[in-house]
Every structure is written in structure tokens, then in C-alpha cells.
Amino acid sequence: MGWPAYPAYKASSVGWLGDLPEHWEVGNLRRFALMRTGHTPSRSEAGYWEDCDVPWFTLADVWQLRDGSQAFLSDTKEKISRLGLANSAAELLPAGTVCFSRTASVGFSGIMPVPMATTQDFWNWVPGRKLTSQYLLHLFRAMHQEFARITMGSTHKTIYQPDAARLAVCVPPIPEQHVITEFLVAETARIDTLVAKKRELIERLNEKRAALISRTVTRGLPPDAARAAGLDPRPKLKPSGIDWLGEVPAHWAVKRLRHVLHWIEQGWSPECGTAVASPDEWGVLKAGCCNGGYFLEDENKALPPDLEAPAGLEVKAGDLLMSRASGSEELIGSVAQVPPATRPRLLLSDKLFRLWCNSREVEPAMLAMVLQSPIGRLQIQLAISGASGLAKNIAQADVRELLLPIAPLPEQAWIAAYLQEKLARIDEVARRITLVAERLVEYRSALITAAVTGRIDVRGTVAPAPPGGSTLPS
């Protein structure tokens, strides 16, 4: 990474730490910090939830910490009252306490900038005189593999108290902790800025992608491409009769999806494990196989060997698939066409629709473009049903009623080919930028781990904080 190592190391006898600088301490975390938990006051006692002014960190606030760029906890969704605090196992923890989530969203960490309480979903650590809050935070963020090792449960994940109480850590002298913290704050901020710029570029590309699809599926090819295809480069327009669609070329039609389909088919979802099917196994496709507008054949689960695959549900090259249900609303209605080189033995699941197109009315590739355009997505969003917080879905009846601009069949082929070429270029640029952003995030994580475990010596990079310097924000 470009930084020197320490002059001398010693064995830590702790698997995840490896060798440490010889002057660092190593031991159980409880030698260096007090371990505390949280609690939820009784919801049946109305008085516990009146005049609430105590910040109370819950799983609903964990979003603040997911990307690892926020060190200090910010405002909480809920607060509790002093009365509720006094009549429960919750306690008001001092500023500087480091908490990490121990259930559901496991291993996310943050520092309390003011006195706060938490739910029982967190283990909270109050640093002692040999440990600073920010160094402990960075240490926790280097321990994701260790947290994964001690996390129990497949559906309801948790880190139990005995396992958390046995955590071993390395602790350099306080002045060195300040140096490491200042180094990491500066370096991670620089990396986070670069990552943010890459993500802004990706967002702009996504906007360009959506605008290109919208313009082309509602107005046709741009003049140069239209001339090359032998089409009128500036066709006359007519009102579509639909406010959100506006004008369309005069020789186009506006039809409901049911008028260009033979039928819609839904698949089958038997009980499967989580493993992806090997090439010689049958796989049941997941709803995510359509995400992004491209068919993802590895988004499947291996069919148990004691179950027979219904041959009629095997997907084929050219099939047009739509995601029917998802926990994420923006993914419902995602559409993709199965490409020619797709592996065999993949089954349509009941989370997917297969749209059988009338070949005299519509090209499947063109229909895919229209459905993933802003006008298609708008209608899908309006049709989505399902209670808030539960898996949502779109019904076949609603899919059939979608309104679409339909060009003459030969023109559809030209439009689909044009869009596929242009979108492939945009997506390739986005893929490369995404890869750079992912590598920066990986580098950030590796840098934190290297600094807090002494694999690199950063003492010459920043001046140590003055004695007694606060690690809390001003």
C-alpha cells in the first residue's frame, strides 16, 4: 500500500489478528471497554412514551452506518422518555460509546456523539482509559470476518452475548491510536470522495440510458439512424390521447399489451436450497434474473434431485420474462429477453411471467424496451399491489392492461437493434466505472484493516493529537 511496516512484530495468538507490532497490547475487549446492551421500554405503558427526549438508537437507524462512511450516530427515528428509561433495562450511555448491531443487520458500528440509549439489538462498548472511540470504531470495521464467524442463525442472525464477550482486540498506545485515527479519517474521506464521484457518473449514465429509451420508443429512431434504415427521418406526429405519453408518430398505434400477446404464463417455485444449479442440474430461476434489463442465468436455485422438472416450464432463447414479485418495488416488472447462448435446464418460477408475443404485432426485443422505458415503469409502479413492508407484486390482469406505443413491425426491429447497440455501450462504460468504485471500496476496507492491526506503520504521516484530545465531534 506504499506505507512501511513496523520495525518488529510479535505473535498475537489471535487468529484474525496475526502478528502485531511488539509494543501493542492484545487481549479480551472487556479489558479495554465496558460491555453494555440496551432495551425497549414496555409499549403498553403510555407514560413511557410521553415527553420523550432521550435519543434511542434502533434497527430503524442502522441505515446511517451501512456504507461505513458515517462515524457518528445522527438523529434517531424514535426517542424514549426519562420515565421509560428508569423503568427498563435500557441505560443512558455516555458520549463516545461505540455500538454495533448484533441482530438482523449484524456488525454495523457507530459512535454516540451525545448520551444515548439503544434497543437490545446492539452491543455497546464504553471505552476505558487505554482505548479511544474512533480507534475502536475502525477496529470493529476491520472485524467483519470475525463478526461473520460468530454470527449465529440462517434466517434470524444474531451475535450472542458469550461470543461478543470473548472478542479479542489489539490496542496500541493512545497517542498511536490518535495517529491511526487521523490517518484513516483523512484517507477514507479521500477514497469516499472518489467513490461518490464514480457513483455520480453512474447515475448520469442511468439517466442518459432512460432518456434514450424513452425518446426512441415514443418518437422512433433519430434522423440519421432513420435514414440509414430507409425510414422517414422526421415523421409526422399525432396526439396519443394519453396525457403522460404525449404525441407519437402518426403511423404508430397505441395498444394495450393484451392486444399484442397470445398469453402470459406463470411458473413454479418448489422448495429449493440456496445453491446455484450446476450445468447438469435443473435450476429454478429467481425474480432477480431480469434485473437491469438483461437476463442473468446464474440467478437460480438448484432443483432438489427428488423433484421432476416440468419440461413445459423450461425457458428458451428468445423468451420474454418479467419479474412478478419482489421485496423491492423498483425491481417489480423488470423485463429481459433470454439470449441465444443461455444454458439449458432453467425453469420459470412463480415469481416470473413469460410473455408470449404475437409475432405479427410485436418484436419481443422491442416490447422489452418499451416495458423498461419510463412510460412502462410508470404504469407498472401504479399497478403494484401489496401491503407496505411485505413482498409486493403485479397481477397478470394489470400487465395485460398496460398501454404501449407500437410501431409497425419492420420499424420495431430497427428500433430494437439501435437501442441494443447504444445501451450496450452505455452499460459497458457503467460496468467499468462500477468496477473502479468497487475496487476503491475494497481498498478502503483493506487500508482500515492494515492500519488498525499494525500491518502498516502510519506514524510518520500525521501529527499525533495533543494529550487528552477529544475524539468527539465539535
Please give the average per-residue pLDDT across 277-294, as a whole number: 94
Buried-exposed string 148-180: b where 16+ CB fall within 10 A, e elsewhere: eebbeeeeebbbeeebbeebbbbbbebebbbbb
Mean pLDDT value across the chain = 92
446: number of CA atoms within 13 Å, CB side? Answer: 9
pLDDT of residue 473: 42
Helices (H), 308-386: 364-372, 374-383
CA dist 453 and 215 (Å) reads 54
pLDDT in tens, 42-93: 999 988 999 899 999 999 999 999 888 899 999 999 999 999 999 888 899 9
At residue 444, the 3 state secondary structure works out as helix
Please give the average per-residue pLDDT across 175-201, as a whole number: 95
Query: With 60 as the cut, is the pLDDT of residue 464 above it?
Result: no
CA dist 459 and 8 (Å) reads 14
pLDDT of residue 358: 95
157 vs 114, higher pLDDT: 114
Q: Name which of 150-159, 183-192, 386-395, 431-440 the model is least confident about.
A: 386-395
**Residues 6 or more apart in contact with residue 11 via CB below 8 angstroms:** 19
pLDDT of residue 335: 96
Residue with cell 439501435: 418
pLDDT in tens, 124-166: 999 999 999 999 999 999 998 899 899 998 778 899 999 999 9
Q: Residue 1's pLDDT band (boundaries 50, 70, 90)?
A: low
pLDDT in tens, 24-48: 999 999 999 999 999 999 999 988 9
User: Where do the CATH 3.90.220.20 domains begin and end in the chain?
Assistant: 25-171
Angle in degrees, CA 185, 189, 191, rounded to 5: 125
**What is 25-171's CATH topology?**
Adenine-n6-DNA-methyltransferase TaqI; Chain A, domain 2 (3.90.220)
CA dist 151 and 385 (Å) reads 35
Q: Which CATH number fits the domain 259-361+381-389, given the four candidates 1.10.10, 3.40.720, 3.90.220, 1.10.150?
A: 3.90.220
Q: Which residues pair with 352 in a beta bridge?
A: 323
pLDDT of residue 385: 67
Q: Residue 472's pLDDT band (boundaries 50, 70, 90)?
A: very low
Residue with cell 446455484: 276
Query: With 70 as the cut, is the pLDDT of residue 327 above it?
Result: yes
Nearest residue to 102 (alpha-carbon basis) of 169, 57, 168: 57
If residue 20 lies in a helix (H) or strand (E), which one and from where to where? strand 19-21
Nearest residue to 292 (alpha-carbon basis) of 434, 157, 153, 185: 434
DSSP per position, 383-432 = H-B--TTS-EE--HHHHHT-EEEE--HHHHHHHHHHHHHHHHHHHHHHHH
Nearest residue to 404 (alpha-carbon basis) of 161, 223, 172, 213: 213
Order of strands, sheet of 320-323, starting from the edge strand that comes earlier in the sequence:
261-266, 352-357, 320-323, 335-337
Angle formed by the axes of helices 374-383 and 174-219, nearest 10°: 100
CA 390 vs CA 2, 100, 111, 327: distances in Å:
48, 26, 32, 7
**Residues 6 or more apart in contact with residue 469 via CB below 8 angstroms:** 178
pLDDT of residue 329: 86
103: number of CA atoms within 13 Å, CB side? Answer: 13
